Structure 1
Amino acid sequence: MTDLTCDDALTTEDIHRAVHSLARLTAHLRTSPDNTEAAALLAPLVHAAPDVVDTLAQVLREVSRLLTQHADAPQDTTVTGLIREYLEAATAVDQLRNPLSKTLRLLEQTPIRTGHADTGGSGTCR
């Protein structure tokens, strides 16, 4: 991953594209590609996992910080609960690092299956 700074213009469209790409990856993996193809598609994501996982966890922690520090946010039980949930989610995301790496290693070591499984779908991404 490249190092980004606050000077990099971030748009909601950037986030939508990232989410859309992950949704396309999910849809493609549902078509049961062979292990070589699946590993190749997952490799950039999994190899970037420390950065991706750390970044997502940091985003969740920043949201909780913003809720804590935002002057207009009432510090009632609802907001306090949200803050706690964001912090718990950040911790859960942190714990994904090792399983993601193990999954890729297993895919890379598993013999290639031939053909695509019949999933009953059209094989197209939505």
Structure 2
Amino acid sequence: MPDHFPDDVTPTPDDIHTVTQTLSRLTEYLREGPDPDQALALVEPLLDEYTGIPIQLGDTLRAFARAVLDHPETPHTPDLHTLIAELRTAAWEQTDQHNLHYTLDELRTLLRTTPEPEDCSCR
């Protein structure tokens, strides 16, 4: 991995803000009650077991902790080490959520195999 990314690859705060805005738009859309299959298709990439948000956020928190800790101008104090430990703990907690993709698998199966009762006025 290069020591420095070219400017066109390095993420900016605006890039990250755009991502969080997109997640907010998704949340609002899901609150409108879309078709479950459409909702599942939209949420599925977020919970991918290898590239989903839990894994990415955990990796990001660990990388952030390492960047702060390894920077030559960072003061190595007991408080810093406590904060770095908190970041690393949070990273593991996020990564532990990777198993939510199994929940999606089970939900997808349920949605595709459970017929609606004929007299249901659910929709």
Same fold (TM over 0.5): yes
Aligned equivalent of 2:13: 12
Aligned-partner Cα distance in 1 for 2:111–2:62: 40
Deviation at 1:77, TM superposition (A): 2.8
Deviation at 1:20, TM superposition (A): 0.9
Larger radius of gyration: 2
> Within 2, Cα distance between the matches of 1:72 and 1:93?
28
Corresponding residue of 2:61: 60
Q: Which moved more, 1:79-88 or 1:38-47?
A: 38-47
- Distance, in Å, in 1 between the alignment partners of 2:55 and 2:11 is 18
Structure 1 gaps of 5+ residues are 116-126
Question: What secondary structure is seen at the aligned counterpart in 2 of 1:15?
Answer: helix
Alpha-carbon distance in structure 2 between the residues aligned to 1:103 and 1:13: 32
- Matches of 1:37 and 1:66 in 2, distance apart? 39
2-side partners of 1:106 and 1:43: how far apart?
12
The percent identity for this pair of structures is 29
What pairs up with 1:16-27 in 2 under 5 angstroms?
Answer: 16-27=17-28
Amino acid at match of 2:88: L
Q: Does 1:103 align with 2:103?
A: yes
Q: Measure how far apart 1:97 and its partner are.
A: 1.0
Q: 1:110 & 1:38 partners in 2: Cα distance?
A: 14
Greater RCO between the two (CA within 8 Å, min separation 6)?
1
Could you tell me whether the CA contact under 8 Å between 1:61 and 1:90 is conserved in 2? Answer: yes
* Aligned residue pair count: 109
Q: C-alpha separation between the residues in 2 aligned to 1:51 and 1:74?
A: 33
* RMSD of Structure 2 on Structure 1 (CA): 2.4
Runs of 4+ with deviation above 4 angstroms: 112-115
CA offset digits 1:71-108 (Å, max 9, x no partner)? 33222232111100111111111111112x12221332
TM-score for the superposition, normalised by structure 2: 0.72
Q: Report SS of the residue matched to 1:16.
A: helix
Q: Which runs of 5+ in 2 are unaligned?
A: 117-121
2:119 alignment partner in structure 1: none
1:45: how far off? 2.3
